[in-house]
Amino acid sequence: MATVTLLEKVYGHYSARSFESMFKNMCKGLNVRLKILNCAPRGWIRIELRGEDEKVALKFLEKEMGLAPVHRGNVKQGDIIRGRIVASKSKLELHVDIGVYEPELTDAAISLRHLQAQLADGKKLALQTIVELYGLYTNLPLEVKVWKPRAEMETIRTELSENQISTFNNWLSQKLERLIILGAAIEEVEYAVKKLRLSRDIYGIESLGLLEHAVICKLGTEARGLIPKLGPKLPNAVLIPFSPVKIMKVTGRAEL
């Protein structure tokens, strides 16, 4: 038997059991029984696996979703972990929940200096400006690289991973606006888009996590303009526009 915490979380009116059938389908064909357990702190999904193929299933889930470190002692320098942004009052660092809750809840943190270097070509922008430009709001999935995991520090010091920077750079180079949606299942987003007949305005929907997605706009469509349309159909979700043109203008970044 194996009990693990996945790097996927639920929040709002969703429960982990809402996705139980999806997890079981992912393990279809394997000799394994999957059971959803009570969530870990902050909504991380915990599961139990039993059966002769549990190791295979575990490796598959680790590859597809990632496994939470759980204990701070499991976090090592150089680790790449996909967490979720959490609310913080700090103006000097962005906090990310990477699934560390033993012996106590411990966030990862990305300093403003690192964000300026990695996302704004070193331009001295305020943290809130970078947050608004890139849609770095609570629950957005973000992949970080650990560079100081020392136990005596209140937070685990990190920076954006190369893969995360590459993702943002790809979004910028495509020059297509995106509407980031936080707090809705993919079925809800797809239904809303279909119901509103928005296929003429969007290319598709990119899933970033179980409850996090990016609606990719067609050239000439502004993400902000979709909010009044999709917002009422997704009343429990947070909708955030991502505009490559605006980011380039404010940060002064050259075209990629």
Query: Which residue type does 60 have?
Result: F
Number of domains the chain contains? 3
Q: Are residues 92 and 111 in the same domain?
A: yes
Range of the structural domain that residue 241 is part of: 175-251
- Residue 212 domain-assigned? yes
CA 196 vs. chain centroid, Å, equals 26
Domain assignment present for 86: yes
Per-residue pLDDT reduced to its tens digit, 126-141: 999 999 999 999 999 9
Looking at the predicted structure, is the pLDDT value of residue 242 above 80? yes
Does 99 share its domain with 154? yes
9-24 residue pLDDT tens: 999 999 999 998 898 8
Model confidence band, residue 255 (pLDDT cutoffs 50, 70, 90): low
CATH number of the domain residue 23 falls in: 3.30.310
Q: Which of 10, 43, 64 is the last residue of a domain?
A: 64
pLDDT tens per residue, range 49-104: 999 999 999 999 999 999 999 999 999 999 999 999 999 999 999 999 999 999 99
Query: 36 pLDDT exceeds 90?
Result: yes
The answer to whether residue 101 sits within a structural domain is yes
Q: How far apart are CA 13 and CA 127, in angstroms?
A: 30
pLDDT at 153: 78
**Statement to judge: residues 185 and 214 lie in one domain:** yes
Residue 81: give its domain's CATH number: 2.40.50.140
Supply the mean pLDDT for the chain: 94
Q: Which helix (H) or strand (E) holds 171?
A: helix 162-174
**Residue 42 and residue 74 share a domain:** no
Answer yes or no: are the C-beta atoms of 206 and 216 closer than 8 Å: yes
Asked if pLDDT for residue 163 goes beyond 80, the answer is yes
Are residue 138 and residue 154 in the same domain, yes or no?
A: yes
Residue where a domain stops, chosen among 133, 167, 201:
167
In a domain, 224, yes or no: yes
- The pair of structure tokens assigned to 106 is 């411990």
| Closest alpha carbon to 131 in 242, 255, 10, 207 | 242
| 58 and 79 share one domain | no
Do 154 and 226 have their domain in common? Answer: no
In DSSP terms, 67 is beta-bridged to 6
Whether 106 maps to a domain, the answer reads yes
User: Residue 207 maps to which CATH number?
Assistant: 3.30.70.100
Q: What is the Cα–Cα distance from 245 to 204, expressed in whole angstroms?
A: 20
Residue at 256 is within a domain: no
82 and 141 housed in the same domain: yes
In a domain, 156, yes or no: yes
Alpha-carbon span 171 to 57, nearest angstrom: 32
For residue 24, tell me if it sits in a domain. Answer: yes
Q: Which of these three, 47, 64, 81, is where a domain ends?
A: 64
pLDDT at 12: 93
